[in-house]
Amino acid sequence: MNQSYLKIYNNLINLTTNKNLYSNLKKQDTFSDRLTLFLIHFAFLLKNFKDKENKKTLQELYDFNFRQIELSIREIGYGDQSINKKMKDYINLFHSIVSEVHFWKENDINEKEKKISKLLTNFGNISVLVDYFNEFDDILSKKTLNSYLKSVSNQ
């Protein structure tokens, strides 16, 4: 296991568990809510560092993160058949998230709010999340993937 990938994974988990992200929930958060937030963070990371130079590393990071997600689902207690279905659903969700954030900077606030509210239906006051992901995207765009692999910080 690559320690750098584990650091990035743990950093994404820390970002996902930020209590401020959950301040406008309509009801109790679920595993699915938390996983969707994780996948949104991960999609922004991939979007910002996607280039030919990083292709192999990003593929390895992708594989590592989805193995970790599968382990988490197993820990919850799902059986093998359920895990396969859940993983397929989560991978499909992730690819739809990647599509939603691909042109993030080109979208206006209303379009961003539509995209986030479609992904996070249990959350109110979507503008707070849009502001958060705008800032997260800006922070990522000012760094290199190598800086994250060597020394991961909490945003």
pLDDT digits (tens, 9 = 90+) for 127-151: 999 999 999 999 999 988 888 777 6
- How would residue 89 be classed by pLDDT, with cut points 50, 70 and 90? very high
The answer, yes or no, to whether residue 46 has pLDDT greater than 70, is: yes
Residue 96 lies in a domain: yes
Please report the pLDDT score of residue 151 as a whole number.
Answer: 60
Tokens of 24: 């406008």
- How would residue 152 be classed by pLDDT, with cut points 50, 70 and 90? very low
pLDDT over 70, % of the chain: 96
Amino acid at 16: T
Domain that holds residue 125: 3-16+29-150
Number of domains in the chain: 1
57-61: long-range contacts, CB 8 A cutoff, minimum separation 24: 57/145, 57/149, 58/145, 60/2, 60/5, 61/5, 61/8
pLDDT over 90, % of the chain: 63
Strand, helix or coil for residue 29:
coil
Residue 22 lies in a domain: no
Mean pLDDT of 96-112: 95
Tokens of 98: 């990647």
Residue 155 lies in a domain: no
Could you give the angle at the alpha carbon of 65 between the alpha carbons of 64 and 71, nearest 5°?
90
The residues pairing with 25 across neighbouring beta strands, listed in sequence order, are 123
Residue 109 lies in a domain: yes
Residue 108 lies in a domain: yes
Please report the pLDDT score of residue 29 as a whole number.
Answer: 83
Tokens of 129: 């999340």
DSSP-assigned letter for residue 77: T
